[in-house]
A and B are shown apart, each in its own frame.
Chain A
Amino acid sequence: MKRTPIYGLMAEFDSPTELVVAARKTFAAGYKRIDAYSPFPVEELAEAIGFQRNGVPFVVLVGGILGCLGGYLMQWWIATVSYPVNVGGRPYHSAPAFIVVTFEMTILCAVLAAVFGMLALNGLPMPYHPVFNVPRFRFATKDRFFLIVFSSDPKYTSTETRVFLESLAPRSISEVPS
């Protein structure tokens, strides 16, 4: 029988405090390719697994700037170049009247960038992921907290990593088949 390759080792905890403490210790022990799973956002967790900055704000800024410039240029081009309409001698390039649509386009593009940028950076949608192979992982969206050390970590060995994770006093440890 062919041995299934292992994706990582997963430890289960009862509370967000235990998970954050365990994640900090694991990161300090030299494991860098790790991840943690919680049923609600835990602010300290990202920093505990060494995740410093995310790209979402930059994506949103770019989206907003593009929406703003695009919205204004569209109106300018339509009103002065493509379809100039003389309304009582008012200037074709009537900037104050263009503010509202420029503003709305800024918000719209920034919102689209925020939602789709966040999903893209997270690699979602991703219907299959190895962590779903662990039966107890379905409680990760209810009341359990999980820490995983990926087998791709240079420090990972199946025995030593298991001994290390056991020293963190988890509720259970399971191998994640990939």
Chain B
Amino acid sequence: MDHPSQGIVPPQPPVIEPGYTFATVTDKISSIVLTRPVSNGWLIGFGIAFLIVMILLYAVGYLFVRGVGIWGVNIPIGWGFAIVNFVWWIGIGHAGTLISAILLLLRQAWRNSINRFAEAMTIFAVACAGMFPLLHLGRPWLFYWLFPYPNTMQYWPQFRSPLVWDVFAVSTYATTSLLFWFVGLIPDLATLRDRAESRVAQIVYGILAMGWRGSARHWSRYETAYLLLAGLATPLVLSVHTVVSFDFAIGIVPGWHTTIFPPYFVAGAIYSGFAMVLILAIPIRKFYGLEDFITERHLENSAKVMLATGLIVAYGYAIEAFMGWYSGNRYDSFLLWNRLHGPYHAWYWALLSANIFFPQILWIRKLRTNPLALFLISGVILTGMWLERFIIVVVSLHRDFLNSSWGMYYPTRWDWATFIGTLGFFTACMFLFLRLLPGISIFEMRTLLPEAEVKSP
């Protein structure tokens, strides 16, 4: 170490390996969509995912015929898997917005190679999330009653209810994510239009690119709009999981009625979202040979975000436990006892191991840069975050104030089929996305190259 500053700021590994030009970056990313033949691996992966989508359709079709009675929901546990899965999926979406909007505002250039598929992940995760409350409605075909529109029944939604807030938060979030993603795609769609060989691809990408030609005036407005969208999406993403947590926190059930919920939900959302980003990024970079674009630095940074948000989540659990004891409220302290020793205690201990104890191995640098280890840890964290929502929904509801209203919740095969079905739907959408659209933002990768900088004469 011969320079004093080296000890303070360790040299950062590059976000894109050296030796690339505008042309090679363009060719490498667009060839995945335009010239590479469909591989057997893709067909098998998509085929399996598609079969699981069929399971989802079957489960939903049967639900439409028979009603929510086929699920394990009952009184007192009226929310069950549907709300567990809703909260889990919508949380996963949050990492995509964090990467595309918040890291853009913070000028974290490394995000440019993972933001596109992270945004796609957000959209598909929100689509999965959106299914559950609608299916849980009982009469899902009347879902539009949730929105304020003039109707012959002369009724309006109740705006003091957090469930109505949730409708607005989630639909705004879905719209914003979709538009943000599409705006980011426009210049790349123009690249695909100009490089496609087949007439059909030229026409389809041409329509989607809307005649983008890269004019300096257009770029100027585009950059302003993109930055403003990022600035609008940042408070939005924080508000969405806050509002989701209000669904619980506004209620009076022990385990729900707590002020720590908004920050703790948002941190948990980002925690599980980054785990999903890694679950997707690690196979994608391997199978499509994108190690030069999604480098070890991306993996390590994501692992660090997981470590930090995981500790915030741990703080949330600690405060819940502390308040259960310190408040002296017998219902709150019973809730704590019930989590540790009650009928679902195994689930709670699994949650603590998966979300708090096990991820601490991310402190070891070697494991943060080891793709296989990260892939496995991410799987554990995703399971842990799902268990967290199960504990919050089911364990809080099954033992409330009166012994006479206690009960148990047992998920049925239809609960599992619907949940696993959405996993298949999500995976199938990701497979299609990778084949049909550029999985990495081509124009933003060009700006990372050294020659993209305008040298002053």
Contact = CB atoms under 8 A, between A and B. Distances in A.
Interface of A: 15-17, 20-21, 23, 35-46, 48-49, 51, 54-57, 60, 74-75, 78-79, 82-83, 85, 87, 90, 94, 97-98, 100-101, 103-105, 107-108, 110-112, 114-115, 117-119, 121-122, 124-129, 131-132, 137-143
Interface in B261-311: none
Contacts of A107: 172, 176, 232, 235-236, 239
21 contacts: A39-B191, A46-B216, A46-B220, A51-B216, A55-B221, A56-B224, A56-B228, A57-B224, A94-B160, A97-B160, A104-B236, A111-B172, A118-B222, A121-B221, A122-B218, A124-B211, A127-B210, A128-B211, A141-B195, A142-B22, A143-B21
A49 B175 CA distance: 35
B179 A111 contact: yes
A129 B159 contact: no
B219 A46 contact: yes
Contacts of A141: 187, 190-191, 193-195, 212, 214
Interface stretch (B48-56, B333-341, B443-451): B443-451
B219 A41 contact: yes
* Across the A-B interface, the 9 shortest Cβ-Cβ residue pairs: A125-B210, A143-B22, A118-B225, A126-B211, A46-B220, A138-B194, A100-B165, A45-B216, A104-B168
A44 B452 CA distance: 12
Contacts of A78: 148, 156-157, 159
B57 interface: no
Given A90-B160, A101-B159, A111-B229, A140 B219 contact: no
B228 A100 contact: no
Contacts of B159: 75, 78-79, 97-98, 101
Q: How many B residues touch the partner, as a band?
A: 35 or more
A36 B329 CA distance: 69
A41 B223 contact: yes
A122 B226 CA distance: 14
Nearest to A128: B211
Nearest to B191: A141
Nearest to A19: B454
B232 A41 contact: no
Contacts of A121: 221
Interface of B: 21-23, 26, 148, 154-160, 162, 164-165, 168-169, 172, 175-176, 179-180, 182-183, 187, 190-191, 193-195, 206-207, 210-225, 228-229, 232-233, 235-236, 239, 243, 246, 443-444, 446-447, 451-455, 457
Nearest to B155: A83
Contacts of A122: 215, 217-218, 221-222
Given A56-B225, A114-B232, A51 B220 contact: yes
Given A42-B219, A46-B219, A115-B183, A108 B160 contact: no
Given A54-B224, A56-B228, A110-B232, A40 B148 contact: no
B443 A40 contact: yes
B168 A105 contact: yes
Contact of A15 (B169, B213, B451, B457): B451
Contact of A127 (B183, B187, B206, B236): B206
Given A105-B168, A143-B23, 5 more contacts: A39-B443, A87-B160, A101-B159, A103-B235, A108-B175
